[in-house]
A = this chain, B = another copy of it.
Amino acid sequence: MSPWPAAAVGDHRDAIDTPALILDLDAFEKNLSSMRAALSGTSVRLRPHGKSHKCPEIARRQMALGAVGICVQKVSEASVFVDAGIPDVLITNQVVGPAKLPHLMELARRARIGVLVDHAAQIDALAAAARAQRASLDVYVEVDVGANRCGVAPGAAAAELAERIGASPALRFAGLQCYHGAAQHLRSPGERAQAIATATRSAVESKAAIEARGMTVAIITGAGTGTFPLERDSGVFNELQAGSYLFLDGDYAQNQLGAADVHFRHALFVLTTVMSRPGADRAIVDAGLKASSVDSGMPAVWQRDELRYGKASDEHGVVTTPHADSLSLGDRLMLVPGHCDPTVNLYDQIVCVRGERVEAIWPVAARGALL
């Protein structure tokens, strides 16, 4: 990590060294309360995704506003959040490999831990490890509801796995994971509605097949920032996993919102400095690939529509400018990352700003927790 921090609490925002990951606290808090408002009066639980922020300070704020727990993707991420006092963590992923299971079971003895399965062999390995370490954990069957990634086919295949989980005394069959990742970034409300209608039918079919075997499906969990009002209103899903609503990725902002959608604000930025101004038509900034993930497109320049961040190399960003007066050496820009999750994962700290001042520095404690 950097031998010195980008900023200290109390600094003026102009004193923040760059590139730095900036959280606009006013926008962030508005996003938190918009999500709370969107779920108030419903019986749908929120279990926001910690893979977006990897930050216990943020998870604690989500819990304080009513989240039942958080999601993560990796056992090592779960460990960071459990160590920070989060009592209920769902790993929304298959956990495969003999090195991982002892860590998983150690966590399951200290907190409520859930994992996903989509194959009998995963269940057998979990059952054996749980028995050996005298742990118990929640196990969810992942159903492929249209994303074409992990998960079993809806219906009988899901029921078979549920039954196998139920047959192990160390495992609790907790419900169904029905997350439709591919639907999150469909641009039109109609496309998203269609995708989630299909996902909901898959969930219903799987639930019925399991109930036909005399088992209960307590939780049907899924949804992301792009689609959660649809799952909320489905009458089928009873838990939502959205994470990006906190920050609002540049890519998410390109979704057209429908009547039921919630307007979130950009709250996460990369602050960068113009370090070279080699021509009237271009400026070079000090934030490149290692400062903002470009997998979902280049970052946008915040509130400077005339500027375009066109190209990233490792430590340089090329910003095209309409004329020579558009930017000067040393000028600072706020970039909106195309994809916040992998961008946060590049930083050790989030510099939290309110107005002109740095109000807090939050560690990205699970940054790099890949295992």
Write the residues of chain A forming the contact surface with B, with a CB cutoff of 8 angstroms: 1-4, 6, 15-20, 51, 73-74, 76, 79-80, 83, 93-97, 99-100, 103, 118-119, 121-122, 144, 148-152, 181, 273-278, 282, 284, 286, 289-291, 293-295, 312-316, 318, 329-330, 339, 341-342, 345-348, 367-371
Contacts and interface: CB of A to CB of B under 8 A. Distances in A.
18 contacts: A1-B367, A3-B79, A3-B80, A6-B371, A17-B99, A17-B100, A94-B284, A96-B275, A96-B329, A96-B330, A118-B278, A119-B329, A121-B330, A150-B276, A151-B278, A289-B295, A346-B368, A346-B370
A188 to B, nearest CB: 22
A100 B19 CA distance: 11
Nearest to A311: B149
Contact of A1 (B6, B119, B312, B369): B369
B1 A368 contact: yes
Contacts of A15: 99
Given A2-B369, A278-B144, A342 B18 contact: no
A348 to B, nearest CB: 5
A120 to B, nearest CB: 10
A348 B103 CA distance: 19
A96 B149 contact: no
Instruction: State the number of copies, please.
Output: 2
Contact of A19 (B17, B95, B370): B370
A350 B12 CA distance: 37
Contact of A18 (B79, B97, B312, B345): B97
Contacts of A313: 149, 181
A314 to B, nearest CB: 5
B80 A315 contact: no
Given A18-B97, A79-B3, A99-B17, A284 B330 contact: no
Contacts of A19: 370-371
